[in-house]
Amino acid sequence: MKLLIIEDEAKTAAYLRKGLAESGFVVDVATTGTDGLDYAWTGEYELIVLDVRLPGRDGWDVLKRLRDDDR
C-alpha cells in the first residue's frame, strides 16, 4: 500500500514515515502544500495524511483541490 504524508514538521514526518515503513507501507513525504498536491496528482496513493497548516498552500486548499479534481 502506498501512502503520502504532507507535513512540514521534519521530525513529525520522519516519525510517521519510519513507523509506517516498518509496518510494510511505501511512504512518500511532501513538505509543502504545493508539493503535496503535485505528489497526489502524479502518484497513486491509497491514503494521504494531510497537515492543515502548511507553507505554500494550506491543507484545506489541498483537500479542496483534490476533491474538486476530476482526473
Evaluate if residue 13 carries a pLDDT over 70. Answer: yes
**Domains of the chain with CATH codes:** 2-22+32-68 (3.40.50.2300)
Number of residues that make up the chain: 71
8 grid coordinates: 512540514
For 65, phi then psi, to 5°, come to -65, -40
Sheet strands side by side (includes 47-50): 26-30, 2-6, 47-50
User: How far is it, in rounded angstroms, from Cα 15 to Cα 11?
Assistant: 6
- pLDDT tens digit string along 22-54? 999 999 999 999 999 999 999 999 999 999 999
